[in-house]
Chain A
Amino acid sequence: MNRPSILWKLYIAAFYLFLFAPLLVVAIFAFNASPFPSPPWRGFTFAWFTGDGSAFGKPGVLMDPIWLDSIVNSLKVAVPVALLAVLLGTVNAWVLERAEFRGKTFLAMMMLWPLVIPGVVLGISILAFFSRVANGLEEWLQTDLDFLRPGLPLVVLGQLSFILTISTLIIAARLRKFDRSLEEAAFDLGASRARVLRTVTVPFLRPALIGAGLVALLMSFENFNTTLMLVGSDAPLPITMYGQMREGASPAINAVSLFLMLAVGGIASLFALTSKAQA
């Protein structure tokens, strides 16, 4: 098996071409001077990034409030999701690795559960449950509780429901490798619990905390299925893209996609670097 046949090599080459073809065409047609993202090639332009709409009737990404608003909405969701995922994921990881109590195996299984629930089902179940809670509370308190209705806060909760599993797993894996004699040494040297946490444990966990935060940020930014069910009038980026793709979008959507690819490439290489430092 160590001398691959020419056929096998050709297959590998064809496979990687297949893998990158869709991304390449998306990137290339972001620069096409045509009102539609399709051939033929009509010349090179930056209009789909910075154009004010005078050339093709539709503005470029950086001039279009629809795109700018949805990027801001995505950030409004992704940043809280990432922060909460790291914070609560650390506590969960601590419970899994350090605490001893009855039912721990059961809890560990329960934490994996969100990964096997289809995103759409997570979305509708959270939508239905929080609507019931909102109805009950509103009647009781006689006020409107808009944050429990479809909208960005509910999207944050919906995404958190499964992203927390991922962040917990990443941080727990790192915590498992921790040599507890380091903590004991610090205690023996007279450090307080808070000081040990701050100077020994958290620095050891840092690569995993950063890694989990970046993964959460990416997963939140790209989540579509759960978000679709919980979104109100403020659409995050994937929802706007979906809407535009159904209507037949201008190449501005390619420009947005190119930004996304570059951002993802940047974050992914950051993540690769932190996990290399971790190994």
Chain B
Amino acid sequence: MNPTQRLALFVLLAPAILWLGLLIVLPHVEILILSFSERVAPRVYAFGAGNYLEFFTEPLYWRTFARTAIMSIAVTAITLVLAFPIALYIARVAQGRLKAMLLLLCLLPFWVSELVRTLGWMILLRETGVVSYLLRAAGLADQPVELLYNDGAVILGLVYGGLLFMIVPLANALESLEPAVVEAGFDLGGSRWTVLRRIVIPHAMPGIVAGSIIVFMLTVGNFATPVLLGGKNGLWFTEQIYAQFITRFNWPQGSAFGMLLLLLSSAIVWAGLRLTGQSLGTTLRQA
């Protein structure tokens, strides 16, 4: 490589290095360092794992963390079950214009802001909302019903937000399934259930993994949906990070929480890839 080419390469690489260095790597090094600094006196900090100890000794913190992890796994599972028949229909049954339209109709709501969708659910579910009003009008309830501010509402909102990210990779994976293979399964005497379990689901595996990983990551890192639909009962871990950073101005503690969230998210992604033998690159491409 001659010096001019070397210079050209360096100039072309500069944006990527500045971007990844200044906006990704160094900021993460910063919160890693912050998370290990303890306040020993006003404005004096020392190295120590106190922020992490605080997490394990304060039940509110680790319970919120565990709750966020478990509910996110549940949301991912529910999303997968709800999305599978839709993706199967789009990929295997619908043809031509209907197929394109069904997929486009799936995409549309997700181009709209998360806050608009959450607003919709709030108008539907709250005590003075549409569902409560319709229940009373139909004579199924004699007084206003509060459907907001509980775990069900949080799960509903998160599943709704994840559906598209499940349907698209699933439909992509199912698209390549040979009809002849399915026919053969039936010809060999397989029931609908056997064919689904032994042929369709294994074939859809890359899509299932890709969709589940994306939905899990989006759910665990969500902020607005659990806070707005769950109210005081939302208790999402991102809210704890926000509270430490912005409300209480305890950046070391907030950084430790941030590192823990990053660790949880990466661990589940890694475990998902490992269990199913997929790689991150192909998984992201699937999506």
Binding site for B on A (CB under 8 A): 1-2, 4, 8, 11-12, 15-16, 18-26, 29, 36-40, 88, 91-92, 94-95, 99, 101, 107, 109-122, 124-130, 132, 157-158, 160-161, 164, 218, 221-222, 224-225, 228-229, 238, 241-242, 245-246, 253-254, 257, 260-261, 264-265, 267-268, 272
Q: Besides A118-B217, A129-B27, A264-B112, 15 other CB < 8 A contacts?
A: A2-B92, A12-B89, A19-B109, A22-B119, A26-B116, A26-B119, A39-B129, A40-B133, A117-B262, A118-B220, A120-B242, A222-B112, A225-B221, A264-B113, A267-B111
- Closest A-B pairs by Cβ, 5 of them: A22-B120, A118-B221, A125-B27, A129-B27, A161-B23
Which of chain B's residues 21-66 have a Cβ closer than 8 Å to chain A?
A: 22-24, 26-28, 30-31, 34
A119 engages B221 (CB within 8 Å): yes
A94 engages B124 (CB within 8 Å): no
Interchain CB contact (< 8 A) of B115 among A24, A238, A264? A238
Closest beta carbon of chain A to B236's beta carbon, Å: 10
A245 engages B86 (CB within 8 Å): no
Interface SS, B side? helix
B241 at the interface (CB under 8 A from A): yes
**Bound Cα distance A236, B255 (Å):** 25
B258 engages A120 (CB within 8 Å): yes
Q: Which residues of B contact A1 (CB under 8 A)?
A: 88, 92-93, 182, 192, 195
**A239 (CB) vs chain B CBs: closest residue:** B115
B271 at the interface (CB under 8 A from A): no
Q: Would you give 26 A-B contacts (Cβ < 8 Å), ordered by A?
A: A1-B195, A2-B92, A19-B106, A36-B128, A37-B123, A88-B16, A91-B15, A99-B13, A111-B20, A112-B280, A112-B284, A116-B266, A118-B265, A125-B28, A129-B26, A129-B27, A161-B23, A224-B113, A224-B114, A254-B119, A254-B123, A257-B112, A261-B112, A265-B108, A265-B111, A267-B111
Interface size on B, residues (CB 8 A): 79
A22 engages B108 (CB within 8 Å): no
Closest beta carbon of chain B to A230's beta carbon, Å: 10
A25 engages B108 (CB within 8 Å): no
Interface SS, A side? helix
B93 engages A95 (CB within 8 Å): no
A15 engages B82 (CB within 8 Å): yes
Q: Which residues of A contact B111 (CB under 8 A)?
A: 218, 264-265, 267-268
Most B CB contacts (10 A, CB to CB) among A107, A118, A241, A253 go to A118
B228 engages A245 (CB within 8 Å): yes
Q: Which residues of A contact B92 (CB under 8 A)?
A: 1-2
Given contacts A1-B182, A238-B115, contact A160 B23 (CB under 8 A): yes
B85 engages A11 (CB within 8 Å): yes
